[in-house]
Chains A and B, each alone.
Chain A
Amino acid sequence: MHLSLDPWIWIAAILMIFIYSFLYKDNPFYKFAEHLVVGVSVGYGIALFYQQQFLPIVYTPLTTDFKNNWHLIVPLVLSTFFLFRFIPKVSWMIRWPIAITLGYGAGIAIPLIIQTSLYEQIRFTMLPLFGTDAGMWLTVVNLLIILGVISCLTYFYFSIKHTGVIGTVSKIGIVFLMVGFGTSFGNTVMARVSLLIGRTSFLMTDWLGLPIIK
């Protein structure tokens, strides 16, 4: 056992134990680590935003080449409207940048979703049920995919009572969904276990200097 002499390893290990102490119950050590990480992340975020967003996208273009970048003044002025929330008389003006941001967000997201989630999903569900070279097995697989998509869509159909045939198809949809979620759950748990192993390994080897057990 060779304890690490690197003070940063010690800080990381101690803070990690502070955070893990929450598994027992809330305590002053966890509170300290929690407040530290929130404070550091906010401070770091502001510095990062200033360096990577404000300087290269707004400040530098405006100060070095104003003629070709004067249009940046428009979003800059709009962004200052966010600060109007501190002035009650004009605080309503904050809705302008919010409306623009919301419109922009939806405008970017909706066509992208139509393309990636809708059309691609339709395309890959239009599978042949016969006439393929792969034979019976591929037909069964295709049938399963089609049944899954149609039944899941039926489950998310809200304006009809889920009784009778619709109810049965909808229940098949739930089964498909749950099988999918189960697979996803297993995958993610394995990834989390891998993260835990990584952290435990850090404590055991990097900090405590224990030999690695293979």
Chain B
Amino acid sequence: MKATLIALLTVFFCAVAGTVYADAPPKLPEKFIAEDFPGDKGEKIRIMWAKSSDDGAGENDVKTYYLFRSTAKDGNYEIVEEFTPLTEDVKVYEDKNLPGNINYYYQLKIVDAQNNISFSEKIGPVAANPEWFNVNRNMILIGMLLYIAIVLVCILLAKRGKDFFVRKIAGLDAVDEAIGRATEMGKPILYVTGLGGLGDIATLASINILGRLAKKIAEYETPLIVPAYDYFVMMVQKEVVKEAYMEAGRPDSYKDDSVFFLSDSQFAYAAAVDGIMVREKPAANFYLGTFFAESLILAETGASTGAIQIAGTDALAQIPFFITACDYTLIGEELYAASAYLSREPLVMGTLKSQDWGKLILMILIIIGIALVSFGIPFDEFFRVIE
């Protein structure tokens, strides 16, 4: 009898304890932090909290986390986001698209399966301030500084008279031939820089080449036609060509309307350049720069007019079309090397040499990386840039 009574009491107290245990509100996270997101332009706040000890352990009945935000500590809090039980030990949430320099307060509400609620303390103030320096992009800065150092050393060496070797690039050897042919035939030279703007490296390289070419063209007094797709590119082209004519000692031969704006619509531009090709019948066509779907339209029309054609682009999808329809094609980086190849000026040659040094360093890094990764050392992660 006594034993039965003890057993019943034990069961009763256990049940009561269990009920009390089950009815307890969910435990709050030990850490709840809000901070300005580092290295952004001032639109994000990072909120972190360790998961409740009742989430995945303890009572294991946490149903939802609610994150609230307010601009005043005791003001109205609005819900930012809700979260199901966490799979990670520490939840990291980025509150995005916030206006900068406004103080915010955050609070966490945790609800369990029995709808018991716990509120965290209100944390803040914290503001999404813009930063001058993005620490996440340190690797890019290191890469750029290293490359700038190599460029400067190479330029210095070139200026001191070091003779840099450049391997033969067939497409560029044909430039003189193309200019000569146009001069002999008394026909113009067409130079197309493509559809790129001033932000495209290929367009900038092409403008550079245009300067070298225009100087030679000016010496032979061959007519030059440069139809532009972008108004700003046209302005730069005009300046470059004008300067080239002045350097060649033929400022009077420069015609301002040899560089002109056509259209900033892709196929209108292609149609108009095609028209120029069949009517003016240039003896040499240069397509150097950024190209898209119009590449084959231009190159095919040029081929049908019998012009010698030299193309070059870094647009991988367009290179095959140029290879099939043009006499010579500069593939990718050959376009960047063209300016140095044509001018042989120390400054540009030094830049070309530095590119090669850059490539050599890359190859060495890749080989080292392959060896380390094969042995399980994640060296590749060193080059991951986190946004």
Contacts and interface: CB of A to CB of B under 8 A. Distances in A.
Interface of A: 19, 22, 25-26, 30-31, 33-34, 37-38, 40-42, 44-45, 82, 85, 94-95, 98, 101-102, 104-106, 108-111, 113-115, 118-120, 122-131, 146, 149-150, 153-154, 156-162, 177, 180-182, 184-185, 187-188, 192
B274 A22 contact: yes
Contact of B356 (A31, A40, A44, A158): A158
A181 B316 CA distance: 7
Nearest to A162: B167
Nearest to A139: B374
Given A30-B275, A98-B232, 10 more contacts: A38-B262, A82-B235, A85-B235, A101-B198, A105-B197, A106-B204, A114-B143, A122-B362, A158-B167, A159-B167
A182 B200 CA distance: 25
B contact residues, range: 35 or more
B264 interface: yes
A178 B360 CA distance: 23
A210 to B, nearest CB: 26
Interface in B331-387: 331-334, 337, 341, 352-353, 355-356, 359-360, 362-363, 365-367, 369-370, 372-376, 379-381, 383-385
A150 B360 CA distance: 10
A125 B274 CA distance: 41
B165 interface: yes
B17 interface: no
Interface string B94-110: 00000000000000000
Interface in B223-281: 232, 235-236, 238-239, 262-265, 267-269, 271-272, 274-275, 278-279
Given A126-B380, A156-B333, A181-B323, A188 B317 contact: yes
Given A31-B275, A161-B165, A126 B235 contact: no
A42 B238 contact: no
Contacts of B49: none
Contact of B316 (A42, A105, A184): A184
A124 B373 CA distance: 11
Contacts of B200: 105, 109
Contacts, number: 179
Contact of A38 (B143, B268, B360): B268
Contacts of B324: 185
B140 A111 contact: yes
Given A37-B268, A38-B262, A182-B320, A118 B362 contact: yes
A110 B235 contact: no
A192 B316 CA distance: 16
Contact of B278 (A26, A129, A159): A26
A118 to B, nearest CB: 7
B144 A38 contact: no
B232 to A, nearest CB: 6
Contact of A85 (B199, B238, B337): B238
Given A150-B363, A181-B319, A110 B264 contact: no
A38 B272 contact: yes
B8 interface: no
A163 to B, nearest CB: 10
B144 A109 contact: no
Contacts of B271: 19, 33-34, 37-38
A85 B257 CA distance: 13
Contact of A122 (B279, B375, B383): B383
29 contacts: A33-B271, A34-B272, A38-B268, A40-B268, A41-B264, A41-B265, A42-B263, A45-B265, A98-B235, A98-B236, A106-B199, A113-B201, A114-B140, A119-B140, A119-B383, A119-B385, A123-B381, A123-B384, A124-B380, A126-B373, A130-B374, A131-B374, A146-B370, A154-B363, A157-B359, A158-B169, A159-B166, A160-B356, A161-B165
B369 A188 contact: no
Contacts of A127: 370, 373
Given A82-B235, A95-B239, A111-B144, A122 B374 contact: no
B164 interface: yes
B31 interface: no
A94 B374 CA distance: 55
B366 A146 contact: yes
B139 interface: yes
A125 B275 contact: no
Contacts of A180: 316
A188 B320 contact: yes
B119 interface: no
Contacts of A85: 235, 238
Contact of A159 (B164, B267, B274, B365): B164
